[in-house]
Amino acid sequence: MRPLSYDGKTTYEGEPGIVIGKPCTNVSIDEADDFIFGYTCVNDVSKISHDITLSGDLIACGTSVGVM
């Protein structure tokens, strides 16, 4: 749901989510499965700011740029 204070454009995309079942810090890759409670689907909603370009349904640059 869009916040009432924002009236600009948004994009939506489904993404997988991992639910962590207990507190953890600096967990090794080998131990990671021991902390996973389950998996879910997440609706990722992002604002479209004036500094991005749209080409059809493809966003060339957005708020998640650089996150790989």
Q: Are 64 and 37 in contact (CB under 8 A)?
A: no
Check residue 50 and give its pLDDT: 54
| pLDDT one-digit tens code per residue, 34-58 | 999 999 999 888 877 655 555 555 5
Tokens read off for 55 = 């080409």
- If one compares 32 and 68, the residue with the highest pLDDT of the two is 32
- Mean of the pLDDT values across residues 14-19? 93
Query: φ, ψ for residue 28 (rounded to 5)?
Result: -75, 160
Distance CA 59, CA 53 (A): 6
Question: For the whole prediction, is pTM greater than 0.85?
Answer: no
Task: Using pLDDT thresholds of 50, 70 and 90, give the confidence band for residue 67.
Answer: very low
